[in-house]
Amino acid sequence: MTRDNGIYHSSPATLTGISRRELLARSGTGLGMLGLAGLLGDDALLGRTQAADSNNPLAPREPHFEGKAKHVIHIFCNGGPSHVDTFDNKPELTKHHGKPLPFSNLKTERKTGHCFGTSFSFQKYGESGIEVSELYAKTAAAHIDDMCIVRSMHADVPNHEPSLLLMNCGESTLIRPSVGSWVSYGLGTENQNLPSFIAMCPGGYPIKGAQNWQSAFLPGIYQGTYINSQHRDIEKLIANIRNNDIPLNQQRRQLDTLQRLNEIHKAERGESPELDARIANYELAYRMQLEASDVFDISNEPAHVIESYGASSPARQMLIARRLVERGVRYVQLWHGAGQPWDNHDDIEKNHRRLAGQQDSALAALMSDLKRLGLFDETLIVWGGEFGRTPVVELPTAGANQGKINGRDHNHWGFTVWLAGGGIRGGQTYGTTDPFGFRAEENPVHVHDLHATMLHLLGFDHKQLTYRYAGRDYRLTDIHGEVKHDWLS
Amino acid sequence: MFLIRLTFTISILLSLLAANLAAQQERPEFTNEQIDFFENNIRPVLVSKCIECHGPDAQEAELRIDSREAILKGSANGPIIDLAKASESLLLQVISHEQEIQMPPDEKLDAKQIASLKIWIELKLPWPKGKQGEITKFDSYDTIRRKHWAFQPVQSGFPLPTVKDTNWARSPLDYLVLAKLEQAGITPSPEADRRTLMRRLYLNLLGIPPTHEQVQNFINEPAVDAYEQLVDQVLASPQYGERWGRHWLDVARYSDTLGYNFQRERRFPFAYTYRDYVVRAFNQDIPYDDFIRQQLAADLMTLDDSRNLAAMGLLTVGRRYRNEQLDTDDRIDTVTRGFMGLTVACARCHDHKYDAIPTEDYYSLYGVFASARIPAEFPQIQSAEETIGYPQFARGLAVIQKELDAYDTKRAGEFTTLFRDKVLDYFVRAVGRPTEEQIKTIEQLTVRDTDIRRGQVTAWQTYLLQTIAENDPFFGILKALATVDAAKFQSTETMLREKVAALAEGTESGQINPIIKQAYLNTPPESVLELALMYATVIQQVHVDSQKEGTQLSPAQQQVHQHLIADNSPTAVTLANVTKFYNRADNNTRLGIVRKMDKYKSTTPGNPPRAMVMEEKPDPYNPVVFIRGNARRRGEAVERQFLYAIDGDDRQPFQQGGGRLELADKIAHAENPLTRRVLVNRIWTHHFGASLVASPSDFGVRCDKPVQLDLMDYLSTVLLDNDWSIKELHKEILLSATYRQASVDRPEARAVDPENTLLWRKNRQRLEYEAFRDSVMYVTEELDFRMGGLSEELTNSATNNRRAVYSFIDRQDLPGLLRVFDFPNPDSHSPQRPITTVPQQALFVMNSPVILERAKRFVQSTTFQQIEQTQRLEFLYQKFFQRQPAEEEVQVANQFFASWDTSGDEPKMDAWQQFTHLLLMTNEFMFVD
């Protein structure tokens, strides 16, 4: 599928030699009217619309081939979780604890010192017998045979900002669309009443803020919608989500009139994506009011379900993520917290225990829930950070750390990401780091490869999912990326 | 970025090799052809691919490649060149990427580069002699300076291209545009109608629409220069500075708070004086070169208006990192990207990855800014008498000051009493310095160590050391013994005892105070601790005696007592020194009052305005390179001077003080190839909704030569010819036929140039948050035109209707509303705002009381109520869109009113209010054609 600023070349209309745009022009209607018509019908209120034939940029669309995954939940441990303390056991490292590495330390952001063995115990789980640390005991005990642990990830630089952008947008400095935006662009969404792509982060933004879920040159409709999941009151979750003066039915009438006036305005001006976008935006906003109130209100869930996830914000938003996926939201990204909570340059034992503690039950519950609801096989779960952490201890630097010599620096040379659910062959590990866990060694996987594989799971050839912008066809993986078929079921 | 072409032919190759026959010795003489070959094919590779790790800065594998000798010396792995058997050279194996060692590690050289290196080795490494031969990073910088478009002088006086349609063009600008359009086979769009033009001018320049009456007058104006007159009129409006000042505040990363601070007030009390300066600078059309100078160095200039000192807010309204290095970095970044489109801050930790900015140059600028500091108190730029509301302000301030003084006074009194009552505890600790274990064994001590105010212990030590003479009648014994080593204490004390016994009793110098003599001779101390305890007991006893009613102290007692009650006693706590004794809790209480005072000063009108300046430090800061940006790793010293990328080898170190004014002059120099172009591009972007250079703050080598470079250079010349007048620059653009084009889509033109790069029409622009909000306020007759002063919370206020430029901007907690409307992050310079369309924007317009209130109140207003029912629709259209409703629109409106359901509860907003509200939501209201 290739599109040129909103023209869908491979759409059925193209097959008959007429572009969708021309088709719409001929039928004397446009985006706004279609949005209206679709919405006024009862279908809209039922949630999942199948407005496949509309010009709505978020209408569900078929990918290149049938993908196993239909939704993505990306659990982002921002700051960088330590792989040697979680999913990549390194007995050699423990053996050399306090001694220098037998090879020179790889260059990371800060000064590092001797080997720093993990403080956590590892144990084999499931039929696959994959070793996981105590930090994720519940997740591993329940689901390890459905998880694919990729231990040989690597990125480009040991700094948060570029690595965050690389992991999210496939490019560390230039402005490029995020994975969620690409997926929304490629697949549309199943529920027109909610944003296609939601980024939740309790308490504020991660580093780099909204850039992490930017749509860049893709239409703004594909940008992630940020939700501060710390709040429970819907009016605090999404500002202006309610109108306290105009009841909904009257507002609907108001918007219908508005859109008719907008159509008259547009008719005199010809092709105008920016006008279309704002017309569509009112419809999205209107629908959001209805459905958002419900989906974010987890009080309807049975007490035992809420309990199984846990009380922390990172846990609660996993439950919300499940509710979003149930309602057809395409891409949900869950950030652990504002700033970079996993960036444990000091006190890694204490901090990782706390952070993983906020996730373990919830991850286990989330996957169990998805299995129970029959959604596990169509939901791709990705867990990881922007990079991992060094197997060697970080040395004191005033201002940069607290000088406690009990933390780890950033490590882009090698780290772990795991995937589960839609299309993933579980119960396997893929690739290795060296015996100390510093550098990806066997079957190294670059972030571009991860992206290529994620798109493949969703039914896209990452080389074909492109967008024409300023004279060039852009894609998520630029000129890189290799699908890792070994991960697939 | 080096295009290396192997252009040599076989014959050249043969001649090169023939010459080589003469070059058998260790340092052969090379022919000019061979040297050229090196310069064209080898040097660029060495500079761009090798020198970073094998040059002066780093010598990986002990290899350097920056001289012929060094290359022949080889690496830790042995020789890398085999002059006898060129093809066996280790260098060639390594660059082939076929061996274990692969260089360059990230990407293999291309085939031509590899071939060139092979030939070069066969030629026995031709290399120029002397200093010329040195390979440095400046080689590549020089290439960039010579080749990159942005570093070439602004072209002026070039002949205008010939065009076919000479009637269309109104100015040279139009010729440049039209020539490219004709080349592409596109015609320009017709001129927009007068209503559209006037709305365009008002919304672009003032951020509010014209009135219906104004539009009618313009439409009916017969004068031939009606449009020109209108442009002049609009540019003279004070609302122009508010609109365009806000554009500059994006560049200046303006915020009203310093960022994160846990304990202190985060508001800058005077950031607004910078904002007001910027608004005024645009309104008064301060020449852009002066605008630059004033923002960087107003403190070093002769100013005709002292308010212009506030210009330096550019340097001081950034985030405060409580780290001078980071604050300085933010200043360098804002100044270099903001004015020159150069990403100098990239060179903080290493040479710029792409541009001609060595890390040394970053530190040259660092030296300039680090030679300045923020003064203890900002200079007042308006007298108290001239400041409206000052008397009330001063009264309020006095109340808080009194509260602060009252707290300090109360604590001073409490401390004085405490330190006298507990003198034994403090004295023993001051003199005896007991260990924790010892403290437990001294039963006279009553104060826990954690409750001890360390300041009082130190005060006693200082007093005894600095105020008391050796032969003091009371403290003489202590002075003689307190500093004696434990090992010698016994012997020294024995000798002293005889002397003391012989001394006459009395209170004069040379005598001994009888109380201490008796205490000492009764029980001579065996350690300094016992000595301390002895004295402390005596002092405390006198203190206790002094408190007994009706006690008359003896002269000896009075002498002891004086050490407690004299003005210079360590126990005398006053307002001047009370904070020395504060613990964290006291400090927190005090800081609470200080914070209240700071908040009061930052939020209460009537505080005489001050300029957030910087001033020169007494001595300029002499910069050194911080290796990898680490201030503790000091590298070589560098001069305070301008950038190599612009001044090249001719540059001279700055001479005056820290060089800030000289830096400003360099940036604002007519020959600076970047400054004018960067400004022209920013201004163009706001007029056309698209940039000539797509990265407005990065004109470096990764920025391709713009299609409209000639246009940019033409406008840069206009700026200079008009003494840097921004208003004249606006006029040049606004009067052009290019600007006056209609924005209507034309499929045939779009097919050729979908991005409208060639300017075949005017782009339709969406209003930014500020212009949209202000327009809503304006058309509903509620916009508050008061200019300047303290920032106020406006984003969520349904009652404060001042212009959005006066919004309080908290960089630590930027209102979500601003974020969803693409307001830039005020933590760093913003090149341009993105334009996103997200549902939260629509939710604001649909549901926020800020907008709803406007519709409600407008319909309730007398203005509206006095309009006949039948005229109301027309009235609204005139008011909001400066036109009559079309028939189709009347029908839609009629249907809306006809379908109004009057049954049921009275809605909070009636039909007219809801209709008014929806008109504010239309695309017509939000977009500028």
Domain boundaries, chain B: 10-135, 404-584, 849-928
Of A155, A284, A162, whose CA–CA distance to A223 is shortest? A284
Task: Return the higher-pLDDT residue of A16 and A287.
Answer: A287
The total of other beta-carbon atoms located within 10 Å of residue B594's CB is 16
What pLDDT shows up at residue B49? 84
Element (H, E) at A198: strand A197-200
Using pLDDT thresholds of 50, 70 and 90, give the confidence band for residue A11: very low
* CB nearest to A247's CB, from B856, B907, B922: B907
pLDDT in tens, B857-906: 999 999 999 999 999 999 999 999 999 999 999 999 999 999 887 676 77
Domain-embedded: residue A269: no
Burial A420-442 (b: 16+ CB within 10 A, else e): bbbbbebbbbbbbbbebbbbbbe
What average pLDDT score do residues A287-310 get?
90
Residue of chain A minimizing CA distance to B825: A209
DSSP labels, A18-57: --HHHHHHHTT--HHHHHHHHHHSHHHHHSB---TTS--T
- Provide, as residue numbers in chain A, all residues whose Cβ is less than 8 Å from the Cβ of B889: 261, 264
Tokens 């040097």 belong to B43
Q: Is the pLDDT of residue A146 over 60?
A: yes
Phi, psi for B596 (deg, rounded to 5): -60, -40
Between positions 187 and 246 of A, the ones with CB within 8 A of B are: 195, 209-210, 214-215, 219-221, 223, 225, 238-246
Closest residue in chain A to residue B842, using alpha carbons only: A282
Is the predicted pLDDT of residue A7 greater than 50, yes or no? no
pLDDT above 90 as % of chain A: 65
- Give the model's pLDDT for residue B56: 76
Helices H / strands E in chain A, number of each = 16, 20
The reply to whether A32 falls in a domain is no
* Contact yes or no for B425/B576 (Cβ under 8 A): no
Q: Is B815 left (phi over 0), alpha (psi -120 to 50) or beta?
A: beta
Residue B840 forms contact with A (CB below 8 Å): yes
- Quick one: DSSP state of residue B802? B
The pLDDT of residue B355 is: 87
Looking at residue A291, its pLDDT comes to: 84
All residues of chain A having their beta carbon less than 8 Å from the beta carbon of residue B840 are 225, 238-240, 285
Q: B353 pLDDT exceeds 90?
A: no
Instruction: Tell me the C-alpha distance between A138 and A125, whole Å.
Output: 10
Residue numbers of A between 273 and 302 with CB closer than 8 Å to B: 274-275, 277-282, 284-286, 288-289
Write the pLDDT tens digit of every residue in B290-324: 999 999 999 999 999 999 999 999 999 998 877 88
Query: CB within 8 A of A167, min separation 6: which ones?
Result: A76, A155, A384, A385, A386, A447
Candidates A261, A275, A291, partner chain B, best to mutate (most B CBs within 10 A): A261
Residue A204 pLDDT level (bands cut at 50, 70, 90): confident
Partner residue facing B909 (CB), from A245, A268, A288: A245
Residue closest to A193 by CA, chosen among A70, A42, A7: A42
Q: Tell me which residue has tokens 């630089």.
A: A157
Tell me the nearest-neighbour CA distance from A461 into chain B, angstroms: 26
- Residue to substitute from A240, A395, A480, interface B, most B β-carbons within 10 A: A240
User: Could you tell me which residues are beta bridge partners of residue A468?
Assistant: A4, A473
Most confident of B94-108, B140-154, B194-208: B194-208
B18 touching A (Cβ < 8 Å): no
Q: Give residue A13's pLDDT.
A: 28
User: Which of B843, B917, B922 has its CB closest to that of A241?
Assistant: B843
Q: Which amino acid, one-letter code, is at B880?
A: F
Looking at the complex, does the CB of residue B260 fall below 8 Å from at least one CB of chain A?
no
As for how many domains chain A has, the answer is 1
The number of C-alpha atoms within 13 Å of B881 and in the hemisphere containing its C-beta is 22
- What is the overall mean pLDDT for chain B? 91
| B786 three-state secondary structure | coil
Model pLDDT for residues A423-482, shown as the tens digit of each residue: 999 999 999 999 999 999 999 999 999 999 999 999 999 999 998 654 357 899 998 999
pLDDT tens, residue by residue, A52-69: 333 456 778 899 999 999
Q: Give the tens place of pLDDT for each residue, B829-855.
A: 888 887 777 788 999 999 999 999 999
User: What distance separates the 2 farthest-apart alpha carbons in chain A?
Assistant: 76
Nearest CA-CA distance, residue A325 and chain B, Å? 20
pLDDT of residue A6: 33
pLDDT in tens, B748-776: 999 999 889 999 999 999 999 999 999 99
What's the mean per-residue pLDDT of chain A? 85
| Strand pairing category for A388-394 and A408-411 | antiparallel
Q: Under a CB-based contact definition with an 8 Å cutoff, are residues A196 and A155 in contact?
A: no
Chains A & B: contacts with CB separation below 8 Å? 151
Element (H, E) at B830: none
Residue pointed to by tokens 């070793």 = A131
pTM confidence score: 0.74
Both tokens assigned to A257: 């009139």
Count CB atoms within 10 A of the CB of residue B831: 21
Please give, rounded to a whole number of angstroms, the shortest distance from the CA of B854 to a CA of chain A.
13
Pick the closest to residue B847 from B784, B908, B781 (CA basis).
Answer: B908
Q: How far apart, in whole angstroms, are the C-alpha atoms of residue B735 and residue A155?
A: 52
- Chain B: residue nearest A194 by CA? B839
Cα B80 from Cα B93, distance rounded (Å): 9
Q: Do A242 and B847 touch (CB under 8 A)?
A: yes
What integer pLDDT is reported at residue B47 of this predicted model? 81
Distance from CA of B444 to the nearest CA of A (A): 40
Partnered with residue A428 across adjacent β-strands are A148
B chain contacts of residue A269, beta-carbon cutoff 8 Å? 743-745, 764, 929
Residue B841, H or E segment: helix B839-847
Residue B827 has pLDDT above 80, yes or no: no
Q: What angle do CA B147, B148, B154 make, to 5 degrees?
A: 100
pLDDT at A46: 28
Query: Do the interacting molecules here have an ipTM over 0.90?
Result: no
- How far apart, in whole angstroms, are the C-alpha atoms of residue B840 and residue B816? 9
Cβ-contact B876, A252 below 8 angstroms = no
At A56 the pLDDT is 59
Among chain A residues, CA nearest to B750: A271
The pLDDT value recorded for residue A472 is 52
B765-766 and A147-154 strand pairing: unpaired
Whether the CB-CB separation of B90 and B116 falls below 8 Å is answered with: no
Report the SS3 class of residue A8. strand
At B683 the pLDDT is 98
Determine the pLDDT at residue B755.
87
Q: Which residue type occupies A333?
A: Q
Of A262, A271, A278, the CB nearest to B837: A278
Say which DSSP state B378 is in.
P
Q: Which of residues 676-715 of B touch A (CB under 8 A)?
A: 694
User: Mind listing the pLDDT tens digit for each residue in A344-389?
Assistant: 999 999 999 999 999 999 999 999 999 999 999 999 999 999 999 9
* Residue B372: strand, helix, or coil: strand
A471 contacts on B by Cβ (under 8 Å): 755
Residues of chain A in contact with residue B834, where contact means CB-CB under 8 angstroms, are 214
How many other CB atoms sit within 10 Å of the CB of residue A22?
A: 13
Residues forming beta bridges with residue A379, ordered by sequence position: A71
pLDDT at A20: 34
Instruction: Closest CB to B837: pick one of A250, A272, A281.
Output: A281
**Among residues B304, B272, B271, which one has the least CA distance to residue B287?**
B304
Say which range, A209-218, A407-416, B703-712, has the weakest mean pLDDT. A209-218
Q: Which residue has the higher pLDDT, B23 or A42?
A: B23
What is the helix (H) or strand (E) element at residue A132, kind and residue range? strand A130-133
- Comparison of pLDDT for A222 and B848, the residue scoring more: B848
Sign of the alpha-carbon dihedral angle for B148, B149, B152, B158: positive
B1 pLDDT band, cuts 50/70/90, is very low
Nearest CA among A175, A173, A177 for reference residue A185: A177
Point out which residues pair with A331 in neighbouring strands. A72, A197
The answer to whether B76 touches B61, Cβ cutoff 8 Å, is yes
pLDDT per position as a tens digit, B598-656: 999 999 999 999 999 999 999 999 999 998 888 899 999 999 999 999 999 889 999 99
Whether residue A403 contacts residue A396, with contact meaning beta carbons closer than 8 Å, is answered with yes
Query: Using alpha carbons only, how large is chain A's radius of gyration in Å?
Result: 23
Whether residue A331 is predicted with pLDDT greater than 80 in this model: the reply is yes
Whether A279 is covered by a domain: the verdict is no
A372 inside 8 A of chain B by CB = no
Cβ distance A219 to B843 less than 8 Å, yes or no, reads: no
Count Cα atoms within 13 angstroms, Cβ side, for A118. 24
| Complete DSSP assignment for B465-502 | HHTS-TT-TTTHHHHHHTT--HHHHHHHHHHHHHHHHH
Helices (H), B206-323: 212-220, 226-235, 238-251, 271-284, 288-297, 313-316
> For residue B860, which residues of chain A lie inside 8 Å, CB to CB?
none
Tell me the one-letter amino acid at B210: P
Q: Kindly report the CA angle at B92 between B91 and B97, in degrees rounded to 5?
A: 100
**B 751-780 residues with CB < 8 A to A:** 754-755, 764, 766
Instruction: Indicate which CATH number applies to the domain containing A407.
Output: 3.40.720
Closest CA to A115 of A131, A136, A140, A92: A92
Which chain B residues contact residue A244 at CB under 8 A?
Answer: 847, 849, 908
Taken in order A185, A186, A191, A194, the sign of the CA dihedral is negative
Distance CA A159, CA A145 (A): 33
In a domain, A236, yes or no: no
Please report the pLDDT score of residue A371 as a whole number: 97
Which residues of B fall within a CB distance of 8 Å from A246? Answer: 852, 907-909, 914, 917
| Backbone dihedral angles phi then psi of residue A313, each to the nearest 5 degrees | -60, -45
- Inform me whether the C-beta atom of residue B893 falls under 8 Å from chain A C-beta atoms: yes
Q: What is the pLDDT of residues B7-64, one digit of tens each?
A: 444 555 555 554 444 444 456 788 888 888 888 888 888 887 888 788 877 788 889 8
pLDDT of residue B88: 87
The range of the structural domain enclosing residue A113 comes to 61-229+310-487
Q: List the structure tokens of B841.
A: 């924007």
- Kindly identify which residue of chain B lies nearest to residue A244, measuring between CA atoms: B847
Q: Please tell me whether residue B510 adopts helix, strand or coil conformation.
A: coil
Mean pLDDT value of segment A87-91:
98
pLDDT mean over B499-515: 92
Instruction: Please give the DSSP secondary-structure letter assigned to residue A114.
Output: E
DSSP lists the bridge partners of residue A488 as A424
* Residues with Cβ within 8 Å of residue B460, at least 6 apart in sequence: B426, B427, B430, B431, B570
Q: What is the pLDDT of residue B370?
A: 97
- DSSP states of A215-237: -TTS-GGGSPEEE-TT--SHHHH
Lowest-confidence region among A165-169, B499-503, B534-538: B499-503
